[in-house]
Amino acid sequence: MARLPYPDLERVAPARLAILGYPANRLLNITRIALHMPEKLWRGHIALKQAMTRDTTMDLVLREVLIMRVAHNARCDYELHHHISISANLGFSLQKQDAIARQDYAALTEDERAVAIFTDETCKLSVSDKTLATVRAMFGDALVMEMAAIIASYWGTAMMVAVTGVEPDEEPVRNWATAQGGSEED
């Protein structure tokens, strides 16, 4: 059970709901609970979350490796609920999902392994010079910064889940490209 009540959508400003595409698009629980934020903060927050699901340039498979490692590092069942589904729809086998969960990166591609290690070290705030040099050489500085921003965004979502006790949604997101409600955060 959520530790904070969800806002009554009948009392939420219609302009906010329009940004979210509601009622045509479903609202994830994390999106609903965020409606408690003051207007200016909420607008920046939702713009960032929408950009993280719609506007990243990162390869989708590598992005899911990154997000799954954030979710495991943060012990965020809410994020895992969605991203196990999303990764499966990107072709991740149960074995690959389990290997990512256990930090057994031997079966991952070189790029996936580098992203997983970079994510783990970033979550611990201890990126080594070697890891940073590796990802810079492989992906370039712009993508390294994008990865850091994605990690920060999903870590922030995990923190909100921890504070609010948001429950997993009934149905997980299956694919961001076709998901209703592009405002869905995780």
C-alpha distances (whole Å) from 171 to each of 17, 27, 34, 43 are 20, 11, 19, 26
> How do the domains of the chain map onto residue ranges?
13-175+182-186
Q: pTM value? A: 0.92
The 3-state DSSP composition of the chain as helix, strand, coil percent (nearest 5) reads: 65, 0, 35
Superfamily of domain 13-175+182-186: AhpD-like (1.20.1290.10)
Digit-coded pLDDT (tens) for 20-71: 999 998 899 999 999 999 999 999 999 999 999 889 999 999 999 999 999 9
Contact in structure between 46 and 185 (CB atoms under 8 Å): no
CA distance 184 to 27: 7
